Chains A and B, each alone.
Chain A
Amino acid sequence: MNSLKLLPRRVYAFLARDFRLFVSYRMQFFLRVLSVLGVVTTLFFISKIFVGFTDTRFTQWRDPLAAWLTGLAVLNYFMTGFSSLANAVRQEQMQGTLESVLLTPINLPTVIVASSAWDFVQATFFSFLYLFFGWIFFDVNYSGSFSLALVFLLLTTLVLASLGILSASFAMVFKRGDPFAMFLGTGSALFSGVFFPTQLLREHAGPVSGISKILPPTYGLDGIRRVLIEGQGFREVSEPLITLLVMLAILLPFSLWVFGRAVRRAKREGSLIQY
């Protein structure tokens, strides 16, 4: 109970720390902003190749630039939700600071949640930047309910965070070589419809296309595009919404259980701070 009361203060502690560390590397920030602008500009020119060729079957892809930018913005956020938790443990382990943080009256789940807070702040900023650059420089317009899109974003991020907890548990025990990161990192770009419609997979890749159905980003991305690009409402997007809720209901308790076991194992082996 006390931990819960102190959680905002602790999250603030990590945010303030990471902000200080962040401003000590200013150059990195400016280069990243430039790289987002570079990607958006490149996609704008690629989208010009498809002017007049867009297949009308794929309603979300009538403006491919809008679809790509939404895909990249959302993927960036999803991947943060997934990877930041495991990275939080790994980074503190590698810096050698995990032990001193764990010596304070703070539990490991709080450390993980709080130390990934800055990653979410950054991801929010850079995801917004993809959409903002598209809107301000290349006339990409978004319609529909932004609050409904936000629900999809949060829900998918939570599902991915559950997988992130599994990944953090893996990092705690095996230290490196996380299979979740490989599966989701490579898998999402290919199978979740970031760069092309998932319908094409069904037509050309046969049974392999089934992978897209088990990846949470597929549903999150589909829902967000339906809302922001096609302007669909709550009823029309209920199917991906329910799918994500079911995934969350299964994955969250399971991942927390696995995480508890991983922490106990690391403490037993004395390998909590090893990397």
Chain B
Amino acid sequence: MVSRGEDTTTTTGDRQITKLPDEAPVAIAVDHISKTYPTPFARLKAFFRRKSKPPVEAVRDVTFNVKRGEIFGLIGRNGAGKTTLTKIIATLIQPTSGAVLVNGFDSVQDDEAVRSQIGLAGAEERSFYWRLTGEENLLFFARLYGLPDRVSKERIADLFARFELQEVARRRFGELSTGNKQRLAVARALLANPSVLLLDEPTRSLDPLAAARMRELIASLARQDPPATILFTSHNLAEVETLCDRVAIISKGELKAIDTPFSLRALTSDSERVHLAVAGLSKVTIEGRFGREVKSWIVKPTVSGVEISFDRRRGDTKLDAAIGLIRENGGTIISIESERPTLLDLLESFEAEEETSQAVSGNRR
């Protein structure tokens, strides 16, 4: 593991998230990127006075940096611009304006150098040769990376072992299950040991167990020495929250927010719902003995006692007061859980905001 200076480590869900220092080197720099897909043959159509569709603005002035070793999530609805952005970074599409640098190489000027730094695993099954085996497919791509055959074969064997694909290595790609195809796509992205990984929904077709292993693997790639930088798109927001150091929310081609999952959730609301499981007290006791302050509580009887739920603002004294009250009256707290706004809530709030502003501008017109 490279030195991270003043790194701090926190635990979120099942993943230990390492907070990167501000001075960590930038692996991907996206600088004021815009992409408008032009109307094909617009001038010709205009000359013949034929109707043509307007140009499509897929990405508008997007700027962000991804630091080395960071797992960076990109979320948004279908058509939000995530794929366009990923493809611009992967040099498959040229931006209309702005620049993307990958480890200091420009995606337009030094596209080959950029491609030698990245591995992309997409959700497209057709990106393999269906009549070739998994092994033959990977060997072909390894040769395109310029790897000698001996190195390629060792690397492929290692990747097959890592992704538990040994048994299907000699089966034709077309005969593989969707999950195995997906794993093979990620294995291919890792073939040349890239320092930057672009993963487009890598767990989409995996069963829960395989998805968990994939997440573990992705997390381990960012921890290895030297660490891989991972740009990750997913519609599974819980997965993004668990895995990513930072998340960018993109809506209708615009970057709406960018921060850690924790800070992003706070953008929606700073309140949370607290659930306390309490033993030794009944609903009747609470309603009879407790004072006015518990009027906003929801009390539900359970087998061992009651479940108390209430809303609080983060940092207020409501939780502390509740715990004191329960203890004073002979209750025992068995568990405490808090329910915070999710990234989905945030995504929904951005979408609602967008729809409102569109409605307002529509009314003005």
Query: Is A103's CB under 8 angstroms from B126's CB?
Result: no
Query: Is A24's CB under 8 angstroms from B131's CB?
Result: yes
Contacts of B144 in A (CB 8 A): 10, 13, 101, 104-106
Cβ-based interface call for B267 (8 A): no
Cβ-based interface call for B93 (8 A): yes
Cβ-based interface call for B220 (8 A): no
Closest to B111 in A: A107
Cβ-based interface call for B112 (8 A): yes
Contact (A270, B115) CB under 8 Å given A16-B143, A100-B127: no
List A219-275 residues whose CB lies under 8 Å from chain B: 264, 267-273
Contacts of B140 in A (CB 8 A): 13, 16-17
Contacts of B115 in A (CB 8 A): 103-106
**Complex Cα–Cα for A100 and B200 (A):** 13
Cβ-based interface call for B188 (8 A): yes
Query: Is B146's CB under 8 angstroms from A100's CB?
Result: no
Cβ-based interface call for B92 (8 A): yes
Query: Is A270's CB under 8 angstroms from B127's CB?
Result: no
Cβ-based interface call for A21 (8 A): yes
Contacts of A9 in B (CB 8 A): 143, 146
Cβ-based interface call for B37 (8 A): yes
Query: Is A96's CB under 8 angstroms from B40's CB?
Result: no
Cβ-based interface call for B145 (8 A): yes
Contact (A95, B143) CB under 8 Å given A102-B92, A105-B113, A269-B37: no
**Complex Cα–Cα for A96 and B181 (A):** 15
Contact (A264, B143) CB under 8 Å given A96-B124, A99-B127, A107-B112: no
Contacts of B146 in A (CB 8 A): 6, 9-10, 105
Query: Is B94's CB under 8 angstroms from A268's CB?
Result: yes
The contact string, 1 if C-beta is below 8 Å from chain B, for chain A 83-104, is 0000000000001110111111
Number of interface residues of A (CB under 8 A): 31
Contact (A17, B127) CB under 8 Å given A3-B112, A102-B92: no
Cβ-based interface call for B64 (8 A): no
Query: Is A97's CB under 8 angstroms from B94's CB?
Result: no
Q: How far is the CB of B38 from chain A (nearest CB, A)?
A: 6
**Complex Cα–Cα for A17 and B139 (A):** 9
List B111-131 residues whose CB lies under 8 Å from chain A: 112-113, 115-116, 118-120, 122, 124, 126-129, 131
Closest to B94 in A: A267
Contacts of B131 in A (CB 8 A): 20-21, 24
Contact (A12, B143) CB under 8 Å given A99-B92, A269-B37: yes
Query: Is A104's CB under 8 angstroms from B145's CB?
Result: yes
Select which of A103, A105, A264, A270 is within 8 A of B120 by beta carbon. A103
**Complex Cα–Cα for A6 and B145 (A):** 9
Contacts of A103 in B (CB 8 A): 90, 92, 115, 118-120
Query: Is B128's CB under 8 angstroms from A97's CB?
Result: yes
List B67-122 residues whose CB lies under 8 Å from chain A: 84, 87, 90, 92-94, 96, 112-113, 115-116, 118-120, 122
Contacts of A272 in B (CB 8 A): 92-93
**Complex Cα–Cα for A96 and B125 (A):** 9
Cβ-based interface call for B310 (8 A): no
Closest to B124 in A: A96
Contacts of B127 in A (CB 8 A): 96-97, 99-100
The contact string, 1 if C-beta is below 8 Å from chain B, for chain A 205-225, is 000000000000000000000
Cβ-based interface call for B163 (8 A): no
List A97-135 residues whose CB lies under 8 Å from chain B: 97, 99-107
Contact (A13, B143) CB under 8 Å given A105-B112, A107-B112, A270-B37: yes
Cβ-based interface call for B350 (8 A): no
Contacts of A97 in B (CB 8 A): 126-129
Contacts of B124 in A (CB 8 A): 96, 99
Query: Is B188's CB under 8 angstroms from A100's CB?
Result: yes
Query: Is A269's CB under 8 angstroms from B40's CB?
Result: yes
User: Can you list 17 A-B pairs with a CB-CB distance of less than 8 A?
Assistant: A10-B143, A10-B144, A10-B146, A17-B140, A100-B127, A102-B92, A103-B118, A104-B144, A104-B145, A105-B144, A105-B146, A106-B115, A106-B144, A268-B38, A269-B38, A270-B35, A270-B84
